[in-house]
């Protein structure tokens, strides 16, 4: 059992705006992921889903996103791979994979190269059912309004600017997990 509160506490000051935002957002993502898993009767480890969902955005503090109280040096799109590194250092490789593969509806190597994204040149697509579930649930909560769940239509619209491949992956996740 991973003590995600202790891990979050290593990097975030308890009670700070950023800590509160991260915890609320992650809690909502974890809650929705578990609801979807139970609704679909998925054969997965709900404890792992809860832990990984609570840690999927652990790297946001390393990014430059003042709107959500992040004053790091990395571009925001790198929060997943940055968080993945933190979790690898803590000996949590499966949690780290969730972290690095949840951005958007996943990112292919082709998208990373074509868009010149500041990310490692490899596929960052969710592979396991747990990775896909957390990636999907994450699309229904923003960090600017972490306690407010987006409608399916709004979540899908938020991905439209990222192209048809992203929408196709989101639609495939919808088929797999249903509309919340």
Write the pLDDT tens digit of every residue in 123-134: 999 999 999 999
- Give, as one character, the DSSP assignment of residue 88: H
Tokens matching residue 35? 């609801």
The CA-CA-CA angle for residues 163, 168, 174, to 5°, reads 130
Mean pLDDT in the chain? 97
* Residue entry with tokens 């571009």: 75
The answer to whether the beta carbons of residues 89 and 69 sit under 8 Å apart is: no
Cα(10)–Cα(164) distance, integer angstroms = 38
Q: How confident is the model at residue 150 (pLDDT cuts 50, 70, 90)?
A: very high
Say what percent of the chain tops pLDDT 70.
100
- Measured CA distances, 129 to 25, 36, 95, 112 (Å): 21, 12, 13, 23
Task: Report residue 64: phi and psi, to 5°.
Answer: -95, 95
User: Does residue 147 surpass a pLDDT of 90?
Assistant: no
CA 176 from chain centre, in angstroms, equals 17
Say what percent of the chain tops pLDDT 90.
98
Domains of the chain: 4-177 (1.10.3210)
**Angle 129-138/164-177 helices, nearest 10 degrees?**
110
Q: What is the pLDDT of residue 12?
A: 98
The answer to whether the beta carbons of residues 52 and 133 sit under 8 Å apart is: no
pLDDT tens digits, one per residue of 5-38: 999 999 999 999 999 999 999 999 999 999 999 9
């Amino acid at each position: 059992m991973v003590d995600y509160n202790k891990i979050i506490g290593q990097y975030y000051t308890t009670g700070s705006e950023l800590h509160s935002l991260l915890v609320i957002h992650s809690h909502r993502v974890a809650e929705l992921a578990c609801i979807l898993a139970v609704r679909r009767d998925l054969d997965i480890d709900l404890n792992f889903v809860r832990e990984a969902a609570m840690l999927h955005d652990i790297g946001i503090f390393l990014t430059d996103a003042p709107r959500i109280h992040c004053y790091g040096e990395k571009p925001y799109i790198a929060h997943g791979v940055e968080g993945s590194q933190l979790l690898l250092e803590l000996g949590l490789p499966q949690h780290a994979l969730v972290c690095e593969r949840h951005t958007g509806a996943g990112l292919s190597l082709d998208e990373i190269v074509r868009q010149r994204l500041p990310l490692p040149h490899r596929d960052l697509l969710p592979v396991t059912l747990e990775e896909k579930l957390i990636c999907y649930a994450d699309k229904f909560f923003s960090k600017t309004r972490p306690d407010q769940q987006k409608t399916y239509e709004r979540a899908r619209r938020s991905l439209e600017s990222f192209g048809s491949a992203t929408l196709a992956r989101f639609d495939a996740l919808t088929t797999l997990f249903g509309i919340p």
